[in-house]
A and B are shown apart, each in its own frame.
Chain A
């Protein structure tokens, strides 16, 4: 299956941490991704994790992967107003065919 599930909305105060969650169904996915979409713009790759990893840290971003539960999360530390966007998780179903979740809108309150 290629269903990727995400919750819809998160508001967070500037400087706090925000956590976005995602579940996926295709256990054969080699890579899992987090993309960011700002208003009126295309999607931009934020970070990715290889399926044999449990965690990846990239500056303010921490990705956690629980393969047993097919659960992916993205933690943004010290959230800034520029982090306000829609965040999509995606899985690679082979040949770089990405299946995206519905997205999670993050609103950062100053």
Chain B
């Protein structure tokens, strides 16, 4: 079974530029998550989708971050304009909506460096 795919793996931009990350979840997984992991910290949930609807985006900085999952499969996370404090690894995860145990399957992440 193919895992969660993310791209690009690495991205370096200057502040005030924009960047987009792509995620393709495990086939059949209805729920998709974007997490931000700053160096030395645990992942922090940015947004959670159920199919193509947003379940929780309470911690998404909506003035600069946006995310979409238009067809309920793959998803894009955009940052515009980027700030220095956005330097982090952006992890995408997916899960089965019927999974009671809440097991999330994570991609390898997209590491963003903002200069």
| Residue ranges of A at the interface with B (Cβ–Cβ < 8 Å) | 4, 6, 31, 33, 40-45, 48, 88, 90, 92, 95-103
Interface residues of B in 38-87 (CB under 8 A from A): 40-45, 48, 55-56
CB-CB < 8 A to A41: which residues of B? 108
| Residue ranges of B at the interface with A (Cβ–Cβ < 8 Å) | 4, 31, 40-45, 48, 55-56, 91, 93, 95, 99, 101-104, 106-109
Bound-state CA distance A60–B81 (Å) is 47
Query: At the interface, is chain B mostly helix, strand, loop or mixed?
Result: loop
In the complex, how many residue pairs between chain A and chain B have their CB atoms under 8 Å apart?
55
Query: At the interface, is chain A mostly helix, strand, loop or mixed?
Result: strand
18 contacts between A and B (CB under 8 A): A6-B42, A31-B101, A31-B102, A41-B108, A42-B4, A42-B106, A48-B101, A48-B103, A88-B42, A88-B43, A90-B42, A95-B48, A96-B102, A97-B56, A100-B43, A102-B42, A103-B41, A103-B42
Q: Do residues B108 and A42 form an inter-chain contact, with CB atoms below 8 A? A: yes
CB-CB < 8 A to A95: which residues of B? 48, 55-56
A35 to chain B, nearest CB (A): 8
